[in-house]
Amino acid sequence: MMWTDIASEAESADQKYGPFRSTHEGLGVLMEEVHELIEAIRLNSPDHVRNEAIQVSAVAYRIAQSLDHEETRARSGMTQAMLPFSG
């Protein structure tokens, strides 16, 4: 169930906003979501923590997906030769 929640969240955001214009944009969104997850954890609210963790996961997934778009890679200063990561 959790994976479908993540995929659904990612798909909804992608339909609403499209792919990230750059990995830096994705990082900004990810950091915002991580901050919200930290706050949810501090509040000890299981439902809130779950929702924020799903959003963090969905944003990370969208960053990975955005690398399929040549424009995103170009705006991020990446070339096809740099992908995939082999570390």
8 A C-beta contact, residue 58 and residue 10 = yes
Residue closest to 5 by CA, chosen among 64, 54, 65: 54
Q: How far is CA 8 from CA 4, 26, 44, in A?
A: 6, 18, 25
* Residue pLDDT, tens place only, 4-26: 999 999 999 999 998 898 989 99
* Residue pLDDT, tens place only, 35-86: 999 999 999 999 999 999 999 999 999 999 888 877 777 777 886 555 555 5
Domain ranges of the chain: 2-7+20-76
